Amino acid sequence: MIRELAERGLEVKSQVRFSIYYKGQSVGDYVADLVVGDQIIVELKCVDGFCTQHLAICLNYLRASGLRLALLINVQKPKVAWKRIII
């Protein structure tokens, strides 16, 4: 996916870390699968179906990154399923 997006002229970063803070202290990192154009988080899954945990992960990534849009993509089945998450 990274190669295809890059060939289409998009800037793609993989395994992007976002620091998590609690009361001003760093307590860990979230690691997003892809960030496209410094605007969209792409979270790739290979599961039977999406669950609330997958949506929660995307929301946490958005909050930690300050970005507003995420795509949750499931590649498990022949027809790719996806959800757009906006905050």
**What percentage of the chain carries pLDDT values higher than 70?**
100
For strand 25-36 and strand 81-86, is the pairing parallel, antiparallel, or unpaired? unpaired
Report the distance separating Cα 60 and Cα 80, nearest Å. Answer: 23
If pLDDT is split at 50, 70 and 90, which confidence band does 27 have?
Answer: very high
If pLDDT is split at 50, 70 and 90, which confidence band does 32 have?
Answer: very high
For strand 25-36 and strand 12-22, is the pairing parallel, antiparallel, or unpaired? antiparallel
Q: Which domains does the chain have, with CATH numbers?
A: 2-86 (3.90.320.10)
Residue range 18-42: average pLDDT? 94
Per-residue pLDDT tens for 54-82? 999 999 999 999 999 999 999 999 999 99
